[in-house]
Amino acid sequence: MTKQEKVDFVINTLKQLYPTLSIPLDHKDPYTLLIAVLLSAQSTDVKVNQITPLLFDKADNPYDMVNLTVEEIRAIIKPVGLSPMKSKGIHGLSRILIEKHDGKVPKTYAELEELPAVGHKTAAVVLSQAFGIPAFPVDTHIHRLMYRWNLSSGKNVVQTEKDAKRLFPKELWNELHLQIIWYGREYSPARGWDLDKDIITKTIGRKSVLKEYYKKKS
């Protein structure tokens, strides 16, 4: 297969498997999505979705959030991990949203990445999932699969994002990054990987990855 044929195969297979999409993190607006994505760092979406209702019951907007202390926020979010950093980030970004953005979540990378505890991936998720702005957030699943599919070198997530944006049509970025995440979880996980179920990797996978897989299975 040529590189373009591989890309087309990925797009068509994912479209068949996931004709409709759901966003993994529960939220009701850009602010609650921003907080949920921030909480998801080094945690699972399942755990975050268990905690956010407790937090948002107390404060689901920046004005109510700043009325909580950092310690109160930390006590609620502690189960998701990294609570000292995340609680300070949530309180700090909420104050900045009020002071600089009239309490609204901004719609640019630069403004989002100026907020405490908000990195490039978090900003990309918010832009794509909250505002429909084309972005290609790269998480561990996308990074792993782009390497397995021989569509990226796997050196780092920055390079993986560049490769994804170069290979896939811009109008598909927002749905593709979600489709790849769901595919990675269901068919091509890091652990307990069954290549027979992973039709994309089995068809277009990097030769060294396939060789290593069969070596471990033998």
Considering the domain architecture, whether residues 116 and 152 belong to the same structural domain is answered as no
Residue 168 and residue 196 in contact, taking contact as beta carbons nearer than 8 Å:
no
Its pTM stands at 0.91
198-208, pLDDT tens digit by residue? 999 999 999 99
96-150, pLDDT tens digit by residue? 999 999 999 999 999 999 999 999 999 999 999 999 999 999 999 999 999 999 9
Number of domains in the chain: 2
For the question of residue 139 being annotated catalytic, the response is yes
* Domain that includes residue 42, residue range: 30-131
Mean pLDDT of the chain: 96
Helix axes 140-148, 173-186, angle to 10 degrees: 80
16-to-21, 125, 194 alpha-carbon distances in Å: 12, 23, 20
Instruction: Tell me the Ramachandran region of residue 118: left when phi exceeds 0, alpha when psi lies from -120 to 50, beta otherwise.
Output: beta
Q: Indicate which CATH number applies to the domain containing 54.
A: 1.10.340.30
The pLDDT of residue 69 is above 90: yes
Of the residues 6, 45, 47, 121, which is catalytic?
121
Considering the domain architecture, whether residues 173 and 119 belong to the same structural domain is answered as no
Considering the domain architecture, whether residues 147 and 127 belong to the same structural domain is answered as no
174-to-39, 125, 156, 201 alpha-carbon distances in Å: 21, 9, 21, 22
- Please identify, among 102, 131, 160, the residue that sits at the C-terminal boundary of a domain: 131
Considering the domain architecture, whether residues 35 and 104 belong to the same structural domain is answered as yes
What is the pLDDT, as a whole number, of residue 181? 95
Within 8 A by CB and 6+ apart from 53, the residues are 26
Kindly state whether residue 157 falls inside one of the protein's structural domains: yes
Residue 30 and residue 126 in contact, taking contact as beta carbons nearer than 8 Å:
yes
What is the pLDDT, as a whole number, of residue 13? 98
What is the pLDDT, as a whole number, of residue 163? 97
Considering the domain architecture, whether residues 11 and 99 belong to the same structural domain is answered as no
Residue 107 and residue 115 in contact, taking contact as beta carbons nearer than 8 Å:
no
159-194, pLDDT tens digit by residue? 999 999 999 999 999 999 999 999 999 999 999 999
Separation between Cα atoms, residue 30 and residue 207, nearest integer Å? 41
Considering the domain architecture, whether residues 118 and 145 belong to the same structural domain is answered as no
Of the residues 3, 8, 15, 139, which is catalytic?
139
The pLDDT of residue 21 is above 90: no
pLDDT band at 39 (very low <50, low <70, confident <90, very high): very high
Kindly state whether residue 25 falls inside one of the protein's structural domains: no
Kindly state whether residue 183 falls inside one of the protein's structural domains: yes
Q: What number of other Cβ atoms are within 10 A of residue 9's Cβ?
A: 16
Kindly state whether residue 177 falls inside one of the protein's structural domains: yes
For the question of residue 47 being annotated catalytic, the response is no
What token pair was written down for 61? 């907007």
- Please identify, among 79, 109, 131, the residue that sits at the C-terminal boundary of a domain: 131
Mean pLDDT calculated for residue range 86-90: 98
- Please identify, among 131, 154, 179, the residue that sits at the C-terminal boundary of a domain: 131
Separation between Cα atoms, residue 75 and residue 87, nearest integer Å? 9
